[in-house]
Amino acid sequence: MQHRTARQPAHDQGGLPMDDDAGLSAELAAVVAGARRRALRDGDRQIDTAHLLHSLLESDPEVRATVGEATQLARLLGYLVQRSIGYGLRWQSGVEDSGAIAVVPDPAPYGGEPKETGGWSPVAAAAMEEARRRARRRGEARAGGTDLLAALVVDPQSRAVEVLERAGIPACDLRARVEARAGQYAEEGGAAR
């Protein structure tokens, strides 16, 4: 019997270039690696926004605090865990591409395969690029967890937004909380992430 997570080439294990071009904090690079492992383990064709959200929630305490209270967080994680039996079965048959995003960046800088070969969903690749843009607007060289969280809720048709809404966490409210926290950090003289 062969395991579902058979050894993959190094580039398929979630490796992310750790140079300045990646534009991700070490913590966010670990989130991406976790999302890649989750997609491989679940047999999904691409890393999508729900993979990123799940990995982000598991890894980043600031993101968990931003998402909401413990009961909301538990419900959200419950929906994400059910991916392989519910959402996942429906999602495995298609690519996450709502059509709401006009320009899809090449996912290769994030450790994914070029979009023609299917490493990242177009929406997830766009979210990664938006996270990097948010960091650059703040004058930061690398994006952090809350940058990605804000970027994951930009597209109202994304899988991350679908799961958030099902868990009773309106994406527009979550984005407002992220922006409020970023403003609070800026006022305090700290770097918002």
Q: What is the pLDDT of residues 61-107, one digit of tens each?
A: 999 999 989 999 999 999 888 875 555 445 554 556 544 444 344 44
Q: What is the pLDDT of residues 18-34, one digit of tens each?
A: 333 368 899 999 999 99
State residue 188's pLDDT score. 62
pLDDT at 57: 96
**Both tokens assigned to 14:** 């979630």
Over range 115-125, report the average pLDDT: 72
182 pLDDT band, cuts 50/70/90, is confident
Judge residue 80's burial from the number of C-beta atoms within 10 Å of its C-beta, 0-12 exposed, 13-18 middle, 19 or more buried. Answer: buried
> Residue 52 above 90 pLDDT?
yes
Give Cα separations from 30 to 4, 103, 144, 167 (angstroms): 21, 26, 11, 25
Tell me the pLDDT of the chain averaged across its residues: 75
The torsion defined by the Cα of 59, 24, 140 and 124, in degrees rounded to 10, comes to -90
Q: Which residue has the higher pLDDT, 120 or 1?
A: 120
